[in-house]
Amino acid sequence: MTIENMLAARVAAAVKECYGAQVSEKEVQLQETRKEFDGDWTVVVFPFTRHSRKSPEATAAELGDYLQRHIPEIQEYNVIKGFLNLTIAPAYWIGVLNDIAATPRYGRARQPSGKRFMVEYSSPNTNKPLHLGHIRNNFLGWSVSEILRANGHDVIMVNLVNDRGIHICKSMIAWKHFANGATPESAGKKGDHFVGDYYVRFDRAYKEQVEELTKAGLSADDARERAPILLEAREMLRKWEAGDPETVALWRRMNDWVLDGFEETYRLMGVSFDKVYFESETYKKGRDLILKGLADGALYRKESGSVWADLTSDGLDHKLLLRDDGTSVYMTQDIGTAHDRFSEFDVDEEIYVVGNEQNYHFQVLALVCRKLGFEWADKIKHLSHGMVELPEGRMKSREGTVVDADDLIAEVIETARATSRELGKLDGYSEEEAEEVYRKVALGALKYFILKIDPKKTITFNPKESIDFNGNTGPFIQYTYARVRSVERKAQEAGIEIRPADPLSPLTTKEQNLVKLIARLPAVVAEAGANYSPALLANYAYELAKEFNQFYHDYPILKEENPAARATRLLLASQCAVAIRAAAAMLGMEMPERM
């Protein structure tokens, strides 16, 4: 039983004993005492004055007196107006510290919840490399999955590769026009970067053709629609869906180039998936379901041949599901993919980690699936996250104004390397060992920078600011962990064993605050899981690291002469590292043993 639950139960019992009134534990308002007041927990007594028929101050004093007499853990109390501040005895916090130290996998649920979640993230297009926006999406999706697992849920991590559509055909057409048979190997480039170059090349050629058509007298709208290279891409899409062998062969070849590049980037980022779906394998299922919905009267067809859903009764508009020529749209494959997933896995919720520019899309997806009669439509959850922008504005893949994931990670690793060498922290390490630390520090810096911000907020990403190794950063948290590990190594060398703390050992205020912070981890994990917010864990890890460093600065650990106090401080430091590592692991951050 947590201290909060115990206090709530005892306060309810005190109200019954003192005033003969039955109140539930849920009616007891408990909160951590504000820093400017003495105490650990505060009880709001205003709701109980109707039972006591006394002033808030008198009611608080009577309840405080009762609680102090009946709860050994309460050392003293004070009253501030209608608030009862309770101070918990140090022996209780030492007991908490010892219990935490004896808990395997501290911070994670001890029993399975019985719930299953599916989390989709990444969802790249096979016409360009992963970029900064994908970095946020991948880090967020992976971290949310780990946090859900820490809460005892079964989690299936999936990726949907968007490997078909007009955007893929644009890269293919540009390669046919401009590559002269070049390959990633002959060009000396990763496959995803190689294909991405042709996506940019298509856009350049398209704009040139639109400009020529406009000069020839066409309106801007007509020129954009009638540009020959765009018409070629549309015809290629039609051929692909018809199964034209030459088109499909080129599509497979270029997709394989990109997928090989993706795998390399995923390994570098430290993210993975339990299953990968491909749009090319699910869009036909979606098309069949839409045609069945049309036959059942749930959808309608326009005279031009396109198929639509009427969502006006739900406050939205009409949504296109199949084009005039019968080709699919994004919604088509998403319906097919969702159907396949819910048929294969019995999940309580399917979470789509996708940017907020797709809010409308996922609102429509759930409505259309409900209209088609699927009960699981209500299990669709869109984890909408803010975009990542540069100081000069939004990134545009087709114009090549993006920050590639590979380039950014390489830059962060180089910064970590230069900073570490300058500080001389890794003297004595082999080159291989040092490179591993550089990688951990760099990825830790990047992941923390991305995940410490609430998912709903847009990030303005300045590469120079992100690679800051001071203050509220990933490297600061990693350094704190490494500092504790250094203390533990020195203790081992001196023959000092980490052991349970003596219940009679006194605790300073700073030490008690550290125990309280460590004890908060399970609640933070639960809150982060309920809100799908790694930011809560990131901020917790920083707060704990900052509090430990203040403690470390003010109090000796191994040089403490009192053996009981030294044992308590050593155990406290060790459990700070355990909690920091547990929180950071759910963010995907690795902890170097030395920095």
CB atoms within 10 A of CB 91: 18
Q: Do 87 and 75 form a contact (C-beta atoms < 8 A)?
A: yes
Write the single-letter amino acid at 337.
T
At 64 the pLDDT is: 96
User: At a CB cut-off of 8 Å and minimum separation 6, what does 503 contact?
Assistant: 91, 94, 95, 98
Distances (CA, A) of 590 to 54, 65, 478, 586: 56, 48, 8, 10
* Rounded Cα–Cα distance for residues 198 and 170 (Å): 8
Distances (CA, A) of 6 to 41, 72, 219: 12, 12, 75
At 397 the pLDDT is: 46
At 266, list the tokens: 């995923």
**Paired residues of 157 in beta bridges:** 119
* Rounded Cα–Cα distance for residues 200 and 214 (Å): 21
* Rounded Cα–Cα distance for residues 214 and 564 (Å): 85
Residue that is written with structure tokens 């009192």 in the block: 562
User: At a CB cut-off of 8 Å and minimum separation 6, what does 50 contact?
Assistant: none
User: At a CB cut-off of 8 Å and minimum separation 6, what does 134 contact?
Assistant: 122, 124, 405
At 471 the pLDDT is: 84
* Rounded Cα–Cα distance for residues 289 and 514 (Å): 56
The 83-88 sheet, strands edge to edge: 29-32, 41-44, 83-88, 74-80
Query: For 20-134, where are the E strands, in sequence order?
Result: 29-32, 41-44, 74-80, 83-88, 116-120
* Rounded Cα–Cα distance for residues 64 and 66 (Å): 5
| Domains annotated on the chain, with CATH | 3-88 (3.30.1360.70), 121-399 (3.40.50.620), 408-585 (1.10.730.10)
The terminus-to-terminus CA distance of the chain in angstroms comes to 38
Query: Which among 115, 4, 148, 119 has a CA at the least distance from the CA of 526?
Result: 148
Write the single-letter amino acid at 174.
A
pLDDT tens, per residue, the chain with 595 residues: 678 888 999 999 999 999 999 999 999 999 999 989 999 999 999 999 999 999 999 999 999 999 999 999 999 999 999 999 999 999 999 999 999 999 999 999 999 999 999 999 999 999 999 998 899 999 999 999 999 999 999 999 999 999 998 999 999 999 999 999 999 999 999 999 999 999 999 999 999 999 999 999 999 999 999 999 999 999 999 999 899 999 999 999 999 999 999 999 999 999 999 999 999 999 899 999 999 999 999 999 999 999 999 999 999 999 999 999 888 888 999 999 999 999 999 999 999 999 999 999 999 999 999 999 999 999 999 999 998 877 765 545 444 457 889 988 998 898 888 887 877 767 778 889 999 999 999 999 999 999 999 999 998 876 566 666 678 999 999 999 999 999 999 999 999 999 999 998 889 989 999 999 999 999 999 999 999 999 999 999 999 999 999 999 999 999 999 999 999 999 999 999 999 999 999 999 999 998 8
Query: Which among 418, 408, 417 has a CA at the least distance from the CA of 464?
Result: 408
Sign, CA torsion 331/272/441/491: positive
At 461 the pLDDT is: 73
Dihedral angle at the C-alpha atoms of 482, 142, 147, 469, nearest 10 degrees? Answer: 30
Write the single-letter amino acid at 303.
E
Distances (CA, A) of 180 to 174, 175, 186, 188, 204: 10, 8, 11, 15, 18
Secondary structure letter of residue 326 according to DSSP: S
Query: Which among 185, 186, 180, 200 has a CA at the least distance from the CA of 129?
Result: 200
Beta 318-322 vs 307-310: how paired, if at all?
antiparallel
CB atoms within 10 A of CB 207: 15
